[in-house]
């Protein structure tokens, strides 16, 4: 069994590239568009300079700004560390993308108490989605991890109970 430190770090490459693209798009948006300006890029997508204040809704007080999201990020980090060495490469990629995109948004919220919303998807007369690449990465990785967990639970539920526990009841000893 691989230890946490010897497990493959290749899943961090796409996560790193995703965050570079997110930071680059946010930088471009801040320097090329005026606040509230939208530029169409086709197929119902727009580039837009807008700030999403993370203090709207949720808990009251300063916990809205960055402490509560940082606490959630730390819990996700601990979960990923505990699960990483037993995880499949696709699951590792999901954890890496989730943590890196979450950290990108945390950086925005810590630095300016808002995240730059740089993409909009519009259908008809109304806006359907406003997001940045980090938001999309978090949603994508959370969906991926949920599907992988559901598949693992379905696979484990089809095994006899003794195989799920990791030891043989008839022998009374742990499998190696």
DSSP of 106-144: HHHHHHHSEEEEEEEEEETTEEEEEE-HHHHHHHHHHHH
Q: What is the pTM of this model?
A: 0.74
* Structure confidence at residue 127 (pLDDT): 63
Flag whether 105 is in a domain: yes
Whether 138 maps to a domain, the answer reads yes
Which of 129, 116, 125, 152 has its CA nearest to residue 36? Answer: 116
Domain count, the chain: 1
pLDDT at 16 over 50: yes
174 domain-assigned: no
According to the model, what pLDDT value does residue 165 have?
52
Q: Which range of residues forms the domain containing residue 110?
A: 41-60+72-152
Classify residue 167: in a domain, yes or no: no
Q: Is 139 inside a domain boundary? A: yes
DSSP state of 98: H
165 part of a folded domain: no
- Percent of the chain past pLDDT 70, that is, above it, reads 78
pLDDT of residue 111: 81
Is 12 part of any domain?
A: no
Is the residue at 14 inside a domain?
no
Long-range contacts of 3-12 (CB under 8 A, 24+ apart): 3/85, 4/81, 4/84, 4/85, 7/84, 7/85, 7/87, 7/92, 8/89, 8/92, 10/89, 11/89, 11/92, 11/93, 11/95, 11/96, 12/96, 12/100
If you compute the radius of gyration of the chain from its CA atoms, what whole number of angstroms results?
20
Q: Kindly report, residue by residue over 51-77, the tens digit of the pLDDT.
A: 876 544 444 444 455 677 788 899 999
């Amino acid at each position: 069994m691989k230890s946490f430190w010897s497990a493959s770090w290749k899943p961090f490459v796409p996560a790193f590239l995703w965050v570079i693209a997110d930071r680059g798009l946010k930088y471009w948006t801040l320097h090329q568009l005026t606040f509230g300006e939208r530029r169409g890029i086709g197929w119902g997508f727009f580039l837009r300079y807008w700030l999403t204040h993370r203090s709207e809704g949720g808990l009251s007080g300063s916990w809205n700004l960055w402490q509560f999201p940082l606490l959630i990020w730390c819990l996700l980090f601990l979960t990923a560390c505990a699960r990483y060495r037993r995880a499949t490469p696709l699951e590792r990629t999901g954890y890496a993308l989730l943590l890196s995109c979450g950290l990108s948004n945390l950086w925005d919220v810590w630095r300016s108490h808002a995240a730059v919303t740089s993409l909009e998807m519009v259908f008809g007369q109304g806006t359907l989605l406003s997001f940045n690449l980090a938001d999309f990465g978090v949603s994508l990785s959370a969906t991926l991890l949920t599907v992988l967990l559901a598949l693992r639970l379905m696979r484990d539920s089809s095994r006899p109970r003794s195989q799920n526990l990791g030891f043989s009841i008839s022998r009374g000893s742990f499998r190696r």
